[in-house]
Structure 1
Amino acid sequence: MKKWLKISVTCFLAAILIITLAACNNEKVQKVTVAEVTHSIFYAPQYVALEKGFFEEEGLDVELTLTAGGDKVMTALLSDGADIGLVGSETSIYVAAQGSSDPVINFAQLTQTDGTFLVSREKIDNFSWDQLKGSTFLGQRKGGMPQMVGEFVLKKHGIDPHADLELIQNIDFANITSAFASGTGDFVQLFEPQASVFEQEGRGHIVASFGEESGHVPYTSFMAKESYMDENKEVIEKFTRAIYKAQQWVEEHSAKEVAEAIQPQFEDTDLELIEMVVERYKGQGSFSTDPILEEDEWNNLQDIMDEAGELPERINHSDLVNTEIAESVMK
């Protein structure tokens, strides 16, 4: 009887210990909401961090919410509807120029080139940029990075986007693909995988990359309000460390391995297509290999905005970019 009682007490204490440890572990898990401007293979390292458990290893429970449009991501951040935003860095400049008392700070860069491609309705064997003159060009939303980079590249090739062609930029981001499919435009500026899907279906042909033409720019970054970063320094550090692990993983693995890792995020997309898109982005260096947003990239961003007539004012790199966290996790 005494032996049975001793065993029962031991089992009871063990159960209490397990429950206590589980409770402690649960307390350590921090919920983080991320508002992403679009759900795209262009953001592969973020999905690798999710699918490979890198956020989990850091004690973070990351929830992604699709918040289409840079202005909507900013609204979500400023209203505390999201903790972190994944969006173009230009949005933080727009907010700062409006005199925000709680600026949005870029703390980890995810992509370092434009992610769009020029798609022609007709097959062109020997494409040259001057072939856009006199055409109808279905561009992206005015004031957004895709459109500003698009105009920057056109001007680089001696094309005035507002005089040498018919520029359409009043169609919502979500409807650009369907607009081109229905017959609008001779050329269109598209993200992947839409560009490759059109090519596979014979409805369009990729003739150039805006990313290759525009150079390095902080195209998409993780950012948060300054107040949130001050109050959650450890969370931001853990988040950045997970992203850095994912960036290194993407850099060190093949396009096929990356595609296989992120396929659960794109269940309706064929694995071979995902691999082709990843290979294309890897080939032109679109994925940042570390989270540091360099000053020269920041200045290139503002030059592109200025060229498009969308830069409200020049803002110093140190005012809206925090590289200390990224530098710390990389040591």
Structure 2
Amino acid sequence: MRRKGIALLSSLVLFTSIVLSACSSSKELSKIRLGEVTRSIFYAPEYVALNQGFFKDEGLEVELQTIPGGDKTMTALLSNSIDVALVGAETSIYVSQQGSDDPVINFHQLTQTDGTFLVSRKPVDSFDWKMLKGSNFLGQRKGGMPQMAGEFALKKNGIDPQKDLTMIQNIDFANIASAFSSGTGDYVQLFEPQASIMEKEGKGHVIASFGKESGLLPYTVFMTKQSFMNKNNSIVQKFSNAIQRAQNWVDTNSVQDIAKSIASFFPNTDQAIIESVVKRYKEQGTYAMDGIIDEAEWNNLLSVMDSAGELKSKVEWGKIVNNSYAEKAKSGK
């Protein structure tokens, strides 16, 4: 009798192990290697999707890595070191202009304005763009979206970047803020949180937004190669679904809650600074409410690139933009 009981118990344990193993395998997550061009509060919805569990809810395990520089991020995507890139849409246009049998496709927009601000060394009571004439201007990397949007804004306000001021562009992106703090330039074009930190330390003053001046455009976009999209259609859709949920969450939650959600990605940044940055970006409509890249935004991007002399040929909106994933994610179907 005792032997029968032991045998029954052993069978029950074995059965339970099989069931648990089956359940575990059925819930196995699909892995996605995601490369972001920089670590920035500018990308808040991406971090919300990770920390709020939206990717996991979609059955995805996202491995995030930061790859400084649009050229390096695109190289990683083209060489299959990553599956999806979060980078400026202009990089996909550069690849298209070079010709490719496996084009890079933009499938979900994250930010819809430039994220940089004009910072002056001295306080300015009543700012006028003409104040920049004759100044030393510490800009961004030539050919990059921040610099192109910056030049577009300057020209819009009657400033010729090549003739009306001295443009300084020989400093690496990571060192621009420290260079300004050390005395280089009268004005500087900065991303957040560097702009807010500069203000807090009394070393600079935010006087204008390049995002407001350059208008709506697909500034930062999730993109992947056509071959990956063809082989992993459902995974790309799940990815888009998770980001849309994060965009909805950012839209409906408070600045404080958003800052708390993304704080783990910025362990060395003061919580008050994170809140200040999120507030600034929310107020100027930087975070896109959905991933759809419309034709007007795309054409504005082309105008910005053309104005900077970086557009060799016009790349039509429908050629390297696929809105079907973002549209389905937005509809919730």
Mapping of residues 292-307 of structure 1, within 5 Å: 292-307=292-307
Query: 1:320 aligns to what SS in structure 2?
Result: coil
Name 2:222's counterpart in structure 1: 222
- CA shift at 1:4, angstroms? 4.2
Whether contact under 8 Å (1:77, 1:224) holds in the other structure is yes
Query: SS where residue 10 of structure 2 aligns?
Result: helix
Residue 249 (structure 1) aligns with: 249
Cα distance in 2 for partners of 1:227, 1:12 equals: 43
Distance (Å, rounded) in 2 between the aligned partners of 1:113 and 1:316: 20
3-state SS of paired residue (2:319): helix
Bigger mean CA deviation after superposition, 175-184 or 9-18: 9-18
Alignment partners' CA distance in 1, 2:182 and 2:275: 27
Alignment of structure 1 residues 156-171 onto 2, 5 Å: 156-171=156-171
Q: What is the distance in 1 between the residues matched to 2:310 and 2:319?
A: 19
2:22 equivalent to 1:20: yes
Q: Secondary structure at the match of 1:154?
A: helix
In 2, the alpha carbon distance for the partners of 1:16 and 1:328 equals: 37
CA distance in 2, matches of 1:296, 1:245: 24
Give the structure 1 partner of residue 263 of structure 2: 263
TM-score for the superposition, normalised by structure 2? 0.97
Show the counterpart of 2:87.
87
1:143 shift after superposition: 0.4
The aligned amino acid for 1:20 is A
1:167-316 matches, cutoff 5 A? 167-316=167-316
Per the alignment, residue 111 of structure 1 pairs with 111
How far did residue 125 of structure 1 move? 1.3
Amino acid at match of 2:35: A
- Do the aligned partners of 1:138 and 1:189 also contact (CA within 8 Å) in 2? yes
Q: Which amino acid aligns with 1:318?
A: G
1:205-263 superposed Cα distances (whole Å, 9 cap, x missing partner):
10000011111010000000111111110110000000000000000001111001000
> In the aligned structure 1, how far is the partner of 2:312 from the partner of 2:90?
10
Aligned to 1:323: 323
Matches of residues 53-68 of structure 1 in structure 2 within 5 Å?
A: 53-68=53-68
What amino acid does structure 2 have at the position aligned with 1:36? E
List gaps (5 residues or longer) in structure 1.
none
Partner of 2:130: 130
Cα offset, 1:159, TM superposition: 0.6
Moved more, 8-17 or 91-100: 8-17
Q: 1:5 deviation in Å? A: 3.2
Residues 1:150 and 2:150 aligned together: yes
Cα distance in 1 for partners of 2:160, 2:216 equals 22
2:44 paired with 1:44: yes
For 1:199, give the aligned amino acid: E
User: For the Cα contact (< 8 Å) 1:37–1:70, is it kept in 2?
Assistant: yes
Q: Distance in 2 between matches of 1:135 and 1:180?
A: 14
User: Secondary structure, in 3 states, of the residue corresponding to 2:223?
Assistant: strand
**How many residues are aligned here?**
329
Partner of 1:74: 74
Q: In the TM superposition, what is the alpha-carbon distance from 1:170 to its structure 2 partner?
A: 2.2
1:142/1:170 contact within 8 Å kept: no
Q: Which runs of 4+ in 1 moved over 4 A?
A: none
Percent same amino acid among aligned pairs?
Answer: 57
Which residue in the other structure is 2:9 paired with? 7
